[in-house]
C-alpha cells in the first residue's frame, strides 16, 4: 500500500490551492492536493478572463514567485488585449481570455508531473487532530 503520510495537505484545487501545492512540492515537501474533481482543477466556471487592472497584478506576482498560472494562461489563451488603451499607460492592463477546458487540462497535467505532489479526489468534511497535529 502506498504511504499516505504527507508533509503538507492542500484542500481545494482552485487557483490558490494549485499554487500552494506547487510551491510546497517544489520546496521538497511531500504534498497532497485534495479536490472534489481532479478533472476540473483551476476551473474558471463563469468568466475565463485572466488579467486586467487588479487580477493582472496578482498573476504577475505569482509568476515572479515561480507560480504556474501565468505560464498556463500563455498556453491556453485564445485572445489577449490591452485594456484602458484610451487612458494613460499607468492604467493599461493585459487581459487574456483562456479556453477554460484547455487551461484545466494543462494544469492537471502539470500537477500530475510535479515531483513531491500527489493529486487526490476527495471531499474534506473534517480535519482530525492528535496532540496538536493534523492526523487525518
Q: Distance between CA atoms of 95 and 51, rounded to whole angstroms?
A: 4
Mean predicted confidence (pLDDT) in 49-64: 91
Q: Distance between CA atoms of 17 and 74, rounded to whole angstroms?
A: 20
Q: Distance between CA atoms of 50 and 36, rounded to whole angstroms?
A: 23
Q: Does 1 score more than 60 pLDDT?
A: no
Beta carbons of 82 and 92 less than 8 angstroms apart = yes
DSSP class of residue 115 equals T
Angle at 58 (CA atoms; ends 57, 59), nearest 5 degrees: 90
pLDDT at 46: 79
Tell me the pLDDT tens digit for each residue of 59-103: 999 999 999 999 999 999 999 999 999 999 999 999 999 999 999
Q: Distance between CA atoms of 109 and 25, rounded to whole angstroms?
A: 15
Q: Supply 111's cell numbers.
A: 500537477
Q: Which domains does the chain have, with CATH numbers?
A: 8-126 (3.50.50.60)
Tell me the pLDDT tens digit for each residue of 2-44: 678 999 999 999 999 999 999 999 999 999 999 999 999 999 8
Amino acid at each position: 500500500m502506498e504511504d499516505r503520510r504527507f508533509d503538507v495537505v492542500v484542500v481545494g484545487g482552485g487557483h490558490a490551492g494549485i499554487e500552494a501545492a506547487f510551491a510546497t512540492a517544489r520546496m521538497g515537501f511531500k504534498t497532497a492536493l485534495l479536490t472534489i474533481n481532479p478533472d476540473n482543477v483551476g476551473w474558471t466556471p463563469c468568466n475565463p478572463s485572466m488579467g486586467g487592472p487588479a487580477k493582472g497584478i496578482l498573476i504577475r506576482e505569482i509568476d515572479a514567485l515561480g507560480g504556474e498560472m501565468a505560464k498556463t494562461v500563455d498556453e491556453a489563451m485564445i485572445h489577449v488585449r490591452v485594456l484602458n488603451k484610451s487612458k494613460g499607460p499607468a492604467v493599461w492592463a493585459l487581459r487574456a481570455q483562456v479556453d477554460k477546458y484547455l487551461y484545466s487540462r494543462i494544469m492537471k497535467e502539470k500537477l500530475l508531473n510535479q515531483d513531491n505532489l500527489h493529486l487526490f479526489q476527495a471531499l474534506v468534511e473534517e480535519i482530525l487532530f492528535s496532540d496538536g497535529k493534523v492526523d487525518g
